[in-house]
């Protein structure tokens, strides 16, 4: 019989974490349908995002268990390829903060760096580990070459966090720090939209973010105050926002995931979005993978949360699927780990091994 702290206990905790994830994603889909029915909204965008995250997560769990080094390496190359194959996703010159397609490019490159760093930590050979780290550094430089300043900043942050993760012994402390960083950025956006910051600081941030983006956030905040319970309905922000209608190329988005959820799905939508991110952090905290892999993936996904707080990255299926894939990779249980423990555990129990 396995002890309470042995493999059976670990498997039970992973099952609980997976069940919570299914419940949270299911609630996100169900709530979008409810709010759409109440306000004649269009929930297809939310449903597609939930489906993309789920499919990416399942793919990451399976491939991460079978090929724990090759899978994240392939994910890194795929993310880089998507960013290079769509050059118009990163038109230059870039804004300091991501907007529209530029945010998607920054997110894809950030996920690629996170995957390459996870592959490096999983690689058994020093030469392969060095090659994968050079790949991550090359992707970071590519972000700068493409003109994605925001992508270069987030990729660099993930690289630095990955190196620091190798020296961190308390995984929980790192996970809490990542959660606080995402909450701080989200809180700052609400403070800017609510005009509660000092005038000088507000003007400085508006100059970096653009006045149009702040006006979109203010419209979203007004809609959330008007109907905090249900919002205005999924997909209806563009119809009711004056700032969105005045844009040269309106896309009907507030360019912030928290504000979009607040405006279109109310307080419950915001709480479900936060719950999804907290579930990912909890899954990384409980993952059987090493602490450097868990914290590296957490840093990349936190960077995606930051980009989504000030941009429109989560409106792109490639980004949501990639985020789910990286989360699945970092929470997978490699089959090679079970195989490597089979003989030592059998000998420890005194079992007779087959010739």
What confidence tier does 103 reach under pLDDT thresholds 50, 70, 90?
confident
- Write the pLDDT tens digit of every residue in 43-94: 999 999 999 999 999 999 999 999 999 999 999 999 999 988 864 443 343 3
CA distance 301 to 127: 27
CA of 44: how far to CAs of 28, 115, 251, in Å? 12, 29, 15
What confidence tier does 345 reach under pLDDT thresholds 50, 70, 90?
very low
**Is the bond preceding residue 93 a cis peptide, omega within 30 degrees?**
yes
The mean of the pLDDT values for the chain is: 86
The pLDDT assigned to 15 comes to: 75
Q: Which has the minimum average pLDDT: 22-36, 68-82, 242-256, 271-285?
A: 242-256
Residue pair 235/45 in contact by the 8 Å Cβ criterion: yes
Cα dihedral angle (74, 301, 158, 309), rounded to 10 degrees?
Answer: 130
CA distance 252 to 45: 12
Percent of the chain exceeding pLDDT 70 equals: 85
Please say if the pLDDT value at position 342 is more than 80: no
Residue recorded with tokens 């929470």: 331
CA of 140: how far to CAs of 76, 91, 166, 177, 317, in Å? 12, 17, 20, 23, 22
Cα dihedral angle (251, 255, 256, 261), rounded to 10 degrees?
Answer: -20
Task: Give me 210's structure tokens.
Answer: 């653009």
Task: Give me 336's structure tokens.
Answer: 């090679």
The pLDDT assigned to 249 comes to: 63
The residue-averaged pLDDT of 143-156 equals 93
pTM of the model: 0.88
Residue 263's SS3 state is: helix
For 241-256, where are the alpha helices, taking DSSP H only?
242-245
- Write the pLDDT tens digit of every residue in 171-222: 999 999 999 999 999 999 999 988 887 777 777 877 788 888 899 999 999 9
Long-range contacts of 156-164 (CB under 8 A, 24+ apart): 157/299, 157/303, 158/110, 158/113, 158/114, 158/117, 158/296, 158/299, 158/300, 158/303, 159/113, 159/117, 161/295, 161/296, 161/299, 162/114, 162/117, 162/120, 162/121, 162/136, 162/292, 162/295, 162/296, 162/299
The residue-averaged pLDDT of 216-243 equals 90
What confidence tier does 95 reach under pLDDT thresholds 50, 70, 90?
very low
| Angle (deg, nearest 10), helices 317-331 and 44-66 | 30
């Amino acid at each position: 019989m396995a002890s309470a702290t042995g493999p059976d206990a670990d498997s039970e905790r992973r099952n609980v974490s997976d069940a919570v994830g299914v419940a949270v994603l299911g609630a996100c889909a169900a709530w979008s349908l409810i709010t759409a029915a109440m306000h004649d909204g269009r929930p297809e965008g939310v449903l597609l995002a939930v489906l993309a995250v789920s499919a990416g997560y399942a793919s990451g769990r399976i491939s991460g268990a079978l090929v724990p080094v090759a899978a994240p390496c392939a994910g890194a190359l795929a993310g880089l390829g998507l960013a290079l194959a769509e050059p118009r996703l990163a038109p230059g010159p870039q804004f300091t903060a991501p907007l529209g397609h530029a945010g998607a490019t920054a997110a894809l490159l950030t996920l690629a760096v996170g995957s390459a760093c996870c592959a490096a930590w999983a690689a058994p050979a020093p030469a392969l580990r060095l090659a994968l780290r050079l790949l991550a550094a090359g992707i970071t430089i590519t972000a700068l070459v493409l003109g994605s300043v925001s992508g270069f900043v987030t990729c660099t942050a993930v690289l630095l966090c990955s190196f620091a993760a190798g020296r961190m012994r308390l995984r929980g402390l790192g996970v809490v720090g990542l959660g606080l960083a995402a909450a701080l950025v989200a809180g700052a956006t609400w403070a800017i939209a609510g005009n509660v910051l000092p005038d000088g600081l507000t003007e400085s941030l508006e100059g970096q973010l653009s006045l149009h983006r702040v006006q979109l956030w203010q419209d979203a905040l007004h809609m959330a105050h008007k109907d905090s319970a249900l919002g205005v309905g999924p997909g209806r922000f563009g119809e009711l926002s004056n700032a969105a209608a005045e844009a040269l190329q309106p896309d009907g988005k507030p360019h912030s995931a928290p504000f979009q959820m607040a405006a279109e799905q109310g307080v419950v939508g915001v709480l479900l979005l936060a719950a999804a991110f907290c579930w990912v952090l909890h899954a990384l905290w409980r993952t059987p993978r090493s602490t450097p892999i868990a914290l590296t993936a957490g840093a990349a996904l936190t960077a995606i949360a930051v980009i989504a707080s000030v941009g429109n990255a989560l409106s792109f299926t490639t980004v949501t699927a990639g985020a789910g894939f990286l989360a699945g990779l970092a929470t997978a249980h490699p089959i090679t780990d079970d195989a490597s423990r089979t003989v030592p555990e059998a000998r420890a129990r005194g079992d007779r091994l087959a010739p």
